[in-house]
Structure 1
Amino acid sequence: MYSAFEIRRALANPVRISLECNRLFYRRGYRRAYNTSGVDVFAEDWDSLILLDACRYDLFERHSRLPGDLEARESRGSGTAEFLRGNVAGRDLLDTVYVTANPQLYRYREELDATFHDVIHVWMEDGWDEEYGTVLPETTTRYALEAAERYPNKRLFVHYLQPHYPFVGSETTFDKGHVQDPEQGQDVFWLRLTDGRLDVPRETVWDAYADNLELVLPYAESLMDAFEGRTVVTSDHGNLFDERAFPIPMRVWGHPKGIHVENLIKVPWLVHETGRRKEIVAEDPVSEGRTVGEDVMEDRLEALGYV
């Protein structure tokens, strides 16, 4: 079940062991692949769905001025891969076009085995910003508007990376790049905050996170203005900021997969309607889509802290 490297890494950092024990609790010893009590987003009624990656409910409630009716929903995951596993795995989604800045669908494409009408991987070479190590919201917006024009009779699923780090435009350095440890491999800064190797005030991290949400909100609103029908704004998961995880009591930063405490799975669900509803039609996939080398994918994943 665990590789030799994973065992060595856990022994070198007991925090990983505690996280894994909590994960085993919520996943019932890995009998559950995701949070089964979370909302099935594709069973919900919408024409367009805008996803803000790693946006917890209270942050959105405090900062969003987007039009519509807001409520809280429970996500099927505390990480993007788990969210996708709970919502798209093995599904026929031929009525949907997925415009995504996040590489996780591509990374797990064989395991997830989801069939969309089309998938537009914005994060591939022409959509990736090398300076910031992410996909900027204006780029995702451009691809989403092009997809809406090209596919007027499809549900449109638009996946922004923000407010997920890196914190674009912020002067913070802790979220830029990652530490390579000979025993533990790459350590994303969330883990170093959790185990105490990195000491940054909570307010500093929270403010950078909030600024990243403020960055993306105007672009989300521009899509809401452009899209007709029923548009939902939501997130795949939340984020912890030195908050308690259970059943082993420990303070955690970030969004470790499989740990289903409130601020990791409580997400916004904002519904806005304007104009006429779409006439949605399911059709065969348009193509197999673009591919990239494994090295390109790994570089993108590393920049976002996924490896």
Structure 2
Amino acid sequence: MANLNRLQGAVSNPGRALTELNRLYHTRGGFGYNPDGVDVFAEDWDTLVLLDACRFDEFKRQIKLSGSLEKRISRGATSAEFVRGNFGNRQLHDVVYTSANGWFAKLQEEIDAEVHQFTFVERDAVQGLTSKPQAVTDRAIQAANDFPNKRHVVHYMQPHQPYLGPTGQRLNFGSTLAETVEQNDLSQREVKDAYQENLSLALDAVERLVESIDGKIVISADHGEHLGERERPLPVSFYGHMGGLYTPELVEVPWYVLESDRRRKTVREEPSKEGSNPDIEAVEQNLRDLGYKV
């Protein structure tokens, strides 16, 4: 019935209708996430850095750190799918999660997930819509110092819109990337410029993080982003991301490995009570403002 309702709602928008058909094609197995994606917690790392909506190709163009780049398939085409697919039904008591993305806080009880500590980074940019990447780095460095015997996940909101670079600063942001493109009458080139500037800001912050912590670091993404390319199997241009739409632009993500001789010795301990407990209603409203259905 839910799929029927979504199709009925797309009838007035032919492009959206084709996107919905593409989504149904990719999710015909009935999973709540991409079952072909990598289980990030089964991989070897001390710190996992997640860039939100970061495409493999754009990351490859910009990364300047001395590491090795691989391509992986994500379990999500959205942050919610990524969280469900990787955190669901797990007690990750050796993990500290520092995040500017609210989906873990929103879904934690529903998916029966635990980490040792979750810290939600304050929204300090674009009227509370997003967090500056340097603020995430500050909190992540503090977490690494406070919990030297844990694996750390650090989740930045960039390059996901709203865009903070020179191009983005002149834009009026809609609740989705497609709305932002329409409201500002943007060309595909302008969208890519804004996206690339946002990614550059994030990578600058990540570089400072890498310089400040020990251990093996992997830089990846929760999912990618469509920047006006045509979807598959039905050819329709699309901006943004959608759950269940497992196109290469959305599920091919970087896996950038920075090796280290100084590995972290981790221990599992019961969840800490010192982490931030975000206001779930505020988290849900922020997710709505970013275009998500909650």
Q: Normalised by the size of structure 1, how large is the TM-score?
A: 0.87
2:139 aligned with 1:116, yes or no? no
Residue 239 of structure 2: SS of its match in structure 1? Answer: strand
Give the aligned partner of residue 141 of structure 2: 145
Contact 2:96 2:118 in 1 (8 A): yes
Distance 1:132 1:292 in 2: 14
Give the aligned partner of residue 230 of structure 1: 216
Matching residue's letter, 1:55: C
Q: Which runs of 5+ in 2 are unaligned?
A: none
5 Å matches for 1:56-95? 56-95=55-94
Matching residue's letter, 1:148: A
Contact 2:178 2:239 in 1 (8 A): yes
Distance 1:13 1:211 in 2: 31
Give the aligned partner of residue 135 of structure 1: 131
- Indicate the RMSD between aligned Cα atoms, in angstroms: 2.4
2:194 aligned with 1:208, yes or no? yes
Residue 110 of structure 2: SS of its match in structure 1? Answer: helix
Q: CA deviation at 1:259?
A: 0.8
| Structure 1 residues 4 and 247, CA gap change in structure 2 (3 angstroms) | closer
Task: Tell me the alpha carbon deviations over residues 160-179 of structure 1, each in whole angstroms, 9 at most, x when there is no partner.
Answer: 0111111013344785433x
Distance 1:49 1:160 in 2: 11
Give the aligned partner of residue 185 of structure 2: 199
Distance 1:198 1:224 in 2: 36
Aligned residues: 293
Distance 1:161 1:237 in 2: 11
| Structure 1 residues 261 and 208, CA gap change in structure 2 (3 angstroms) | same
Distance 1:133 1:98 in 2: 20
Give the aligned partner of residue 182 of structure 1: none
Contact 1:175 1:189 in 2 (8 A): no
| Structure 1 residues 272 and 263, CA gap change in structure 2 (3 angstroms) | same
> Which residue of 204, 211, 216 maps to 1:218?
204
Give the aligned partner of residue 249 of structure 1: 235
> Which residue of 151, 155, 158 maps to 1:159?
155
Residue 224 of structure 2: SS of its match in structure 1? Answer: coil
Contact 1:191 1:254 in 2 (8 A): no
| Structure 1 residues 274 and 3, CA gap change in structure 2 (3 angstroms) | closer
Distance 2:291 2:172 in 1: 10
| Structure 1 residues 134 and 241, CA gap change in structure 2 (3 angstroms) | same
| Structure 1 residues 88 and 292, CA gap change in structure 2 (3 angstroms) | closer
Distance 1:198 1:16 in 2: 19
Q: Which runs of 5+ in 1 are unaligned?
A: 179-186
Distance 1:18 1:3 in 2: 13
Task: Tell me the alpha carbon deviations over residues 84-141 of structure 1, each in whole angstroms, 9 at most, x when there is no partner.
Answer: 1111111121110000000111122222221101101114xxx433546210011101
Distance 1:24 1:250 in 2: 15
Residue 298 of structure 1: SS of its match in structure 2? Answer: helix
Give the aligned partner of residue 2 of structure 1: 2
Distance 1:84 1:78 in 2: 11
Distance 1:112 1:202 in 2: 37
Distance 1:174 1:301 in 2: 22
Matching residue's letter, 1:47: D
Q: CA deviation at 1:297?
A: 1.9
Contact 1:189 1:198 in 2 (8 A): no
Give the aligned partner of residue 190 of structure 1: 178
Moved over 6 A (4+): none
Counting aligned pairs with the same residue, the percent is: 41
The worse-fitting range, judged by mean Cα deviation, of 153-162 and 227-236 is 227-236
Task: Tell me the alpha carbon deviations over residues 44-79 of structure 1, each in whole angstroms, 9 at most, x when there is no partner.
Answer: 000001111111011011011022111111111111
Residue 61 of structure 1: SS of its match in structure 2? Answer: helix
